[in-house]
Amino acid sequence: MTLMPMTLPGMDSPIEMLVACHQKVRHFARLSSKLDAHLETTGADGSAQEAARNILRYFDTAGPLHHQDEEEDLFPALRAAAALLGDTPTAQALCSAIAEVQAEHAVLDTLWDEVRAWLERVEQGHSNPAPSGVEIFAVQYPMHAGREEAEIYIHARLLTEPQLARIGRRMSERRGLRCDASDPPVAGA
């Protein structure tokens, strides 16, 4: 089970960063499904344990940060931008989509709890069959990411450069990165 290396854009491009995170979401969600197939044929070998560890690391760390980026910064900024549009179909569709994907976050968190418990056992060397939630997780999370991109992120054009810069700074801070106005984020500085 190989992992593909991924590079991410900087926090100075917060929407591109969120889209890049979605690529990782898709990768690790698919990997959880592939892991189940691998366990059936090979068992919980070192490769399976490493895959489980990597999926756990991503969804335990980056997943919650990503949801915070959206719920605490991007979605409120987009709601404010929608309010400036008035009672238009665009504003209504955007606000409705935001409310719906926020509800999906709770569903995905519940699915993750089930998947997480299974992955912890795999990481410890157990070849237990995956619970039904794994396939649902592997399908629903990428669909959710696609929906966010198609129905919400496309409206980022409504945001001003200062709003996007603020979102990027908050994303950096959330991850413990320093970001000066003219410098790219520096980890651990």
Each domain of the chain, given as residue ranges in start order, spans 14-174
Residues 107 and 101: their CA atoms lie apart, in Å, by 10
Question: What are the CA-CA distances from residue 78 to residues 8, 72, 91, 147 (Å)?
Answer: 23, 11, 9, 16
pLDDT (tens digit per residue) in 47-95 = 999 999 999 999 999 999 999 999 999 999 999 999 999 999 999 999 9
Residues 116 and 120: their CA atoms lie apart, in Å, by 6
Q: What is the pLDDT of residue 177?
A: 73
pLDDT of 183 above 50: no
CATH class of 14-174: mainly alpha
Q: Which residue has the higher pLDDT, 118 or 184?
A: 118
Q: What is the pLDDT of residue 10?
A: 59
| Percentage of residues of the chain with pLDDT beyond 70 | 88
pLDDT of 181 above 80: no
Residues 108 and 20: their CA atoms lie apart, in Å, by 19
pLDDT (tens digit per residue) in 4-14 = 444 455 567 89
Q: What is the pLDDT of residue 12?
A: 73
